Chain A
Amino acid sequence: MESGSGVIITVFSTASAVGKTFLATNLAAVLGSAGYRVCLMDLDLQFGDVCNYLAINPEKTLFEAQRDVANDAEGFDPLPYLVDYQCKDTSITVMAAPKLLEEAYNVDTDAVVEVTRKLAKEFDYIVVDMAPAFSELNLAILDITTIVTFVGIVDFIPTIKNMKSGWDTLKMIGYDGNRIRFVLNRGGSQTRIGLDEVEQILGSPFYHILPNDFHMAQQSIKEAGPLVLLHPDTELAEGIRELTAKYTNRDSLNNTQERESSGGWLSRLFE
């Protein structure tokens, strides 16, 4: 990664309704509350929900940004295309998905990559909420992504099959296990399939498991704010903070060594 560029965390999955937008908004909120400059980018271009989740109505979106960067890459400043979001003492900025479906359909991949690069120079963290597909745009953004948060839920076999094929595809494209962080959402929810079975199928343990609290997650969405800010005392909020800590503590060598020597599952991940 070039110097001066922020960390790009992409939240990806092979299915909808696994909690990508929920996790992306909450990751961004935790990072924002820790004082980092954070931009949350909605790349679910056609049916993105970031603005719905946060009840914001931006004037400009990624559509205008990618159009204008294509005209003048050199002089392009991404900041006027962002919208601020504030909740309690935390503020983040949002690059919204295009408002109209026809705009979403006519977005240029190279221009979006350029916008993302420009954003990465302005912010410590870019959190990308991505549509569940291996599209040309998604692959281009995954290429410049620092950490891919691959979100899964365990509900029934077809979902697991798609997680597996998505996971295999990411590895085939050349992302090593270290760059892909496999996060299980709604862990502990009642399913017919055991987590160990899933880990066995995928050939990899979960990097992090978020507890199931569908009710509170929905409640925070209704209240138009991140759970970690509105209901910080919940287990789920704690789980999201822990995940974020794993991402931000990447320089904490001592901590990592300690974990590796314990011979736990984390050490297996980095074999």
Chain B
Amino acid sequence: MQYRVLLIEGNRMMLERLTAVIRDTKDFELAGRYQKAGDALKQGGVFHPNLILLDAEVESNVALIPEFGKAFPSVPVLCMNTRWNAENASHLVQAGAQGYLLKPFTRIELKEAVDTFAKGNMGASSCLIAFFSPKGKSGKTTLIANLALSLAAKTGDSVGIIDADLQFSDMSVFFNLAPQSTIVEAVRDVHFLSPVTLKPYYMPVTDRVSVLCGTKKPEYAEMVETKKFADVLAMSRNLFRYLLVDLPPGFGPISIAAAESSDMTILTASLNGGFEMLQMKRALEIFHDWDDFDERVRAVFTRVSPCNEETRQQLEQIVGCRVAGIVPNEYKLVSEAADNGRMAHDISPDSPLMHSINTIADRIISSQKAV
């Protein structure tokens, strides 16, 4: 597709710089450029732009975003700023902007921004799901990886996975990835990034599913600051319709930050015949303080036998929260998949395991429709 860009930038030097980048970028041409948004609004129509880049550092420009929407219906508006901030970005989205990029930008960043945002509204309705478990080996990573593929296949939407199980992260092994960058680098750099420049830190596993991999060594976990981690979550919301966050077992600053940012928190436990139900109930107590506990908190149990609706309802009664799904014990399939860096979703789509995970995906999708 050929983009005809209407560029609005108040600073003269920046205007020249961005003009040069647009002219140098393949598939992009400069249809018109303005220093004042009001002029662009009145005159720009004659150039028939199909992409608007708007300087959002000028407060009065932001107020004009709805006007651009009326004057140029179906033309995406991407806001430009020198620094990303979650609050500001959400304000721009509400005003009607499609996306966001930092200026000055490179040719690659411009193309990436259009690829990311022109296809859909940025983060306006993203759903962040934090996956927490009282104890490890709950089947959480298997669940998240396959759920991501299922959500993407069912909705056609983009799905991001963040592996925040910082010391013993597994997601890269599950997907057989050798990441160049991980959560450590994303958190380190977040204050210099925007959604567009954060995106390359994610490793694509399909055309719709990407993973921000966990640390390469346990000691790197210390480098992940909680506040900056929360910023990565907020920024990632702009990239994906569904964002699934794999958390370490137990409560710590990272898991608490992710749960607090979440639209939904799913607690997982594997039923091994020990005291998992007891520990699940203790963990759930922590979330009871939330006013919206009933809407926001779910449990998922793995290795459930017999894995049927009756059991699910019984478990729901025992733990006192909604059970989004139960997953049967399929050790052979799960281990074969993980050992070969493949997914049950792909190698055995009709298995009982995938049937359960698809049901969980359906429940998540319908809860989003309700929202």
Q: Could you say which residues of chain A place their CB within 8 Å of the CB of B138? A: 16
Size bracket, chain A contacts: 20 to 34
B91 contacts A by Cβ under 8 Å: no
Is the Cβ of A158 less than 8 Å from the Cβ of B141? yes
A165 contacts B by Cβ under 8 Å: yes
Q: Could you say which residues of chain B place their CB within 8 Å of the CB of A191? A: 335
Partner of A15, one of B137, B275, B335: B137
Is the Cβ of A132 less than 8 Å from the Cβ of B335? no
Roughly how many angstroms separate A85 CA and B250 CA in the complex, as a whole number?
27
Is the Cβ of A101 less than 8 Å from the Cβ of B174? no
Partner of B135, one of A47, A157, A168, A222: A47
B35 contacts A by Cβ under 8 Å: no
A172 contacts B by Cβ under 8 Å: yes
A17 contacts B by Cβ under 8 Å: yes
Kindly provide the distance from the CB of B259 to the nearest chain A CB, expressed in whole angstroms: 13
Is the Cβ of B218 less than 8 Å from the Cβ of A169? yes
Kindly provide the distance from the CB of B366 to the nearest chain A CB, expressed in whole angstroms: 31
Chain B residues numbered 141-186 whose CB sits less than 8 Å from any CB in chain A: 141, 167-168, 170, 173-174
Q: Mark A105-138, 1 if CB is under 8 A from B, else 0.
A: 1000000000000000000000000011110000
Partner of A156, one of B167, B221, B272, B334: B334
**CB closest residue in chain B, given A172:** B219
Size bracket, chain B contacts: 35 or more
Kindly provide the distance from the CB of B133 to the nearest chain A CB, expressed in whole angstroms: 8
**CB closest residue in chain A, given B278:** A52
Roughly how many angstroms separate A137 CA and B293 CA in the complex, as a whole number?
31
Which one of B39-47, B230-238, B279-287 is at the interface? B279-287
B134 contacts A by Cβ under 8 Å: yes
Q: Mark B116-135, 1 if CB is under 8 A from A, else 0.
A: 00000000000000000011
**CB closest residue in chain A, given B270:** A17
Is the Cβ of A101 less than 8 Å from the Cβ of B168? no
A14 contacts B by Cβ under 8 Å: yes
Is the Cβ of A17 less than 8 Å from the Cβ of B136? yes
Q: Mark B188-227, 1 if CB is under 8 A from A, else 0.
A: 0000000000000000000000000000011101000000
A193 contacts B by Cβ under 8 Å: yes
Is the Cβ of A162 less than 8 Å from the Cβ of B331? no
B294 contacts A by Cβ under 8 Å: no
Is the Cβ of B251 less than 8 Å from the Cβ of A52? no
A-B residue pairs in contact (CB < 8 Å), sample of 5: A18-B137, A47-B135, A49-B274, A218-B273, A221-B274
Residues of A whose CB lies within 8 Å of any CB of B are 14-18, 46-47, 49, 52, 101, 105, 131-134, 155-158, 161-162, 165-166, 168-169, 172, 191-193, 218, 221-222
Question: Closest 9 A-B residue pairs measured CB to CB?
Answer: A16-B136, A156-B335, A17-B137, A16-B135, A158-B170, A52-B275, A162-B168, A157-B339, A158-B173
Residues of B whose CB lies within 8 Å of any CB of A are 134-138, 141, 167-168, 170, 173-174, 217-219, 221, 248-251, 270, 272-275, 278-279, 282-283, 285-286, 331, 334-336, 338-339
